[in-house]
Amino acid sequence: MTGKTCLVTGANSGIGKETAIGLARMGARVLLVCRNQKKGEDARADIERETGSSRLDLLIADMSSFGSVRALAAQVRQRYSRLDVLINNAGAAVPSRTLSADGIEMTVAGNYLGAALLTFLLLDLLKSSAPSRIVNVSSAAPLYPPAAVNSAYGTSKAALNQMTRHLAAELEGTGVTANVMHPGSLKTEMWADMKRRIADAGAGGEGHADWIDMVERTGGDSTDRAIELVLELLGEEGAETNGRFCWPAGIVEEPLPSW
Which amino acids are annotated catalytic? Answer: 153
What track of x and - describes contact with ligand NAP for positions 98 through 137 (by CB under 6 A)?
------------x--------------------------x
Query: Which residue in the set 90, 135, 171, 198 belongs to the binding site for ligand NAP (CB under 6 A)?
Result: 90
Cβ(96)–Cβ(87) under 8 Å? no
Beta-ladder partners of 132: 176
d(CA 79, CA 128): 15
Does position 10 interact with ligand NAP (CB under 6 A)? The reply is yes
Kindly tell me which of 129 and 185 has the beta carbon lying closer to ligand NAP.
Answer: 185
| Closest by Cα among 242, 233, 235, 225 to 183 | 225
Provide, rounded to whole angstroms, the least separation between the CB of residue 87 and ligand NAP: 10
Cβ(100)–Cβ(106) under 8 Å? yes
Does position 186 interact with ligand NAP (CB under 6 A)? The reply is yes
Kindly tell me which of 172 and 216 has the beta carbon lying closer to ligand NAP.
Answer: 216
Q: Is 118 helix (H, G, I), strand (E, B) or coil?
A: helix
Q: Show Cβ contacts of residue 62 under 8 Å, excluding neighbours closer than 6 positions.
A: 35, 68, 69, 101, 110, 114
Q: Show Cβ contacts of residue 44 under 8 Å, excluding neighbours closer than 6 positions.
A: 32, 56, 58
Kindly tell me which of 9 and 241 has the beta carbon lying closer to ligand NAP.
Answer: 9
Does position 188 interact with ligand NAP (CB under 6 A)? The reply is yes
Query: Which residue in the set 19, 185, 241, 242 belongs to the binding site for ligand NAP (CB under 6 A)?
Result: 185
Chain contacts with ligand NAP (rule: CB under 6 A): 9-10, 12-16, 35-36, 39, 62-64, 89-92, 110, 137, 139, 182-183, 185-186, 188-190
